[in-house]
Amino acid sequence: MRRRHILSFAVVAGVVAVVASGCTGAPPADTSALSGSIAPVADGVGVDGWEVTAWLVTGDAPREVATATADGDGDFSLDLPAETAGPLVVDARPADGEAALLASVVTGDQESVTLNERTTVATGYGLAQFFGDALPTGDALAVGNAAAMAANLADFATGDYGEVLTTSPNGSETSTLAAFTSLSAMLSVCLEDESACVSLFETASGASPVTSAAGAFAAIARDPSAEPEALFELAQQAAGAEPGLSDAPAAWTLALRFDGDGQSLDGPGNFAIDPRGHIWINNNYEYGADPSVPVCGSDEMFEFAPNGELVGTYSGGGLSGSGFGIDFDAEGRLWLSNYGFAAPEPGCPADQQPLHNSMTLFDDGDFLSPDTGFTQGDLSWPQGIEVARNGDVWIANCGNDTVAVYPDGDPEQARNLGTLGLEQPFTVVDNGRLMFVSAMVNSAVAVVDHDGTPIDGSPLTGAFDRPMGLGVDAEGNVWVANSGGITLPCPDRVEEGRGVPSVTMISPDGSSTTGPFTGGGVVLPWGLAVDGVGNVWVANFDGQRVSAICGADPSVCPRGLDTGDGISPDDTGYAFDGLTRSTGIAVDPSGNVWVMNNWEQVPVQTNPGGHQIVAFVGAAPPVPVSPFADGG
């Protein structure tokens, strides 16, 4: 086992916080002082007399903890209650204004804070899913992690662009920096012209009015394709603005790429998220700087913090080219399936070819599986797995068309359920009543009792086209990503023409299907996730995009959309030029949508792996993760 830089990283923003008191002299002993500055990017904005307020973000309502008035240079100092604990948001409004036009947050041991257009956009996007009309409300850990992600966009201490935003694998390599600059320019126009503020607020708000600039950007983040052209025209009015986008985007998403140590991620496959918001990732290939050199299967998995920082790299327990299967059980043990991706012989030599028939089990820094992994259950090129709610581990074996089960997570009791009528099964999910297994070759979904007995009519067919990823909403509806053409993930590749990419919904009892739905820009669906209100997110293996689709409850969808309608644009999805070919997708407890750069857009078959994970910042209603049984 190899462990690098392993630490506990639970980000909680701001036990020291913002803004100011006009008083001079040392603060009382039961307070702490924090200096700040209102420093607009736009030239000539008067800041004298702006009212600044520090708000403690709680699960009930934001609570005012300190106020101050800025001087003619925009400077202020805050006497903050010393025992204040939890995320803090600072906002500021002109002396004669009603709405807060600037905002920032304070994280960790930050000693000063700046409020400008960049910090306001970062606050709105990073905390988007917690914002009401003016301020955020929510769980301290989830909001704190969201603030840490926001700090990748802007430096809250200096008001500069964030380091992650401006450096590789972001910076000039993707369009996000330009999009962020254009969003900041919209606020610059607002600071210079009151009528532009009205336009910004009204354009961003949709059906729910906003009453602060940060609230406006949060609304844009939550529905980024609502009014893209109107917002772009507003940005273009900024005088002397820094270069932003040259054309209106189809959606105002902000996506950031993370590559860990820059030399280990190679074909990351899928995500598992723990209760702290940490992101765990399996990996397909050994890293190879030269893609023309054939690679063998990876023996590593990775842990990332909620802000995208690499926390740990782990090796052992039979890890070998893990593909798509990764899931936590209720005790916090992490299960991974070992598909065994590698270049074929002679590229990857015979004595280095990975195993294709095992499961790995990891717990609190240690591997519980042997060096060969657990091989019980007639495993064969396993892909998707699911730890059922009763603790059973289900495994889709795409190599021998079967499904295996480890009852209560015990490999010694392993059972193989046979084919269940499936050809190349790929993904498994539990909706609390039944188990569902997708199968690519015969375009089917098996519906099975927890004891392994198929229900009448299983497997379901007719509504699917080479299905892959599955997801479950709160009502038990099962959503299916119909790739319409992917033939890659199993050893016996079936060459067929392209079908129709889509998404299908199966009722909780498996008795009926709705759809298929083809909107939202789906082009080659692979992974699928359901967000905190039941809307559906799809990772596409082509088209450099993710897709968002209105779920079973239209009341939570924007713009009057109905079940199955695309929330993302039908022609482009949520496009991002920093995506390659994507597989896994997940929504974290802070509202970020994570997607894999699994394969290069133009893959070299000796080493086709992509090298980043990608976060669409603040894009989806959060999916909380219940604490593990041991309290972790």
Domains of the chain: 1-252 (no CATH), 366-616 (2.120.10.30)
- What would the mean pLDDT of 571-585 be, rounded to a whole number? 98
Above 80 in pLDDT, residue 580?
Answer: yes
Give the predicted TM-score (pTM) of the model: 0.94
- pLDDT (0 to 100) of residue 495: 72
What is the rounded end-to-end Cα distance, in angstroms, of the chain?
22
Above 50 in pLDDT, residue 21?
Answer: no
Nearest C-alpha neighbor of 486 from the set 516, 464, 466: 466
Mean pLDDT over each residue of the chain, to the nearest integer: 92
- pLDDT (0 to 100) of residue 401: 97
pLDDT for 498-534, tens place per residue? 799 999 999 999 999 999 999 999 999 999 999 999 9
- pLDDT (0 to 100) of residue 394: 98
- What would the mean pLDDT of 40-68 be, rounded to a whole number? 95
* Greater pLDDT, 627 or 240: 627
- What would the mean pLDDT of 217-228 be, rounded to a whole number? 97
Above 90 in pLDDT, residue 494?
Answer: no
In sequence order, the 6+-apart residues with CB closer than 8 A to the CB of 215 are 124, 131, 132, 133, 134, 135
Above 90 in pLDDT, residue 4?
Answer: no
- pLDDT (0 to 100) of residue 487: 81
φ/ψ of 615, rounded to 5, equals: -115, 120
Above 50 in pLDDT, residue 24?
Answer: no
Cα–Cα separations (whole angstroms), residue 586 to 279, 419, 422, 582: 10, 28, 26, 12
Above 50 in pLDDT, residue 15?
Answer: no
pLDDT for 558-571, tens place per residue? 999 999 999 999 99
**Residue 120 amino acid letter:** T
- pLDDT (0 to 100) of residue 409: 98
Q: In the numeric block, which tokens belong to residue 129?
A: 């899913």
pLDDT band, very low/low/confident/very high, at 631 (cuts 50, 70, 90): low
Three-class SS of residue 198? helix
> Measured between alpha carbons, how far is 618 from 110 in angstroms, rounded to an integer?
23
The winner for highest mean pLDDT among 344-353, 485-494, 581-590 is 581-590
> Measured between alpha carbons, how far is 375 from 356 in angstroms, rounded to an integer?
9
Strand segments, DSSP code E, in 202-299 are 255-258, 268-273, 279-283
- pLDDT (0 to 100) of residue 234: 96
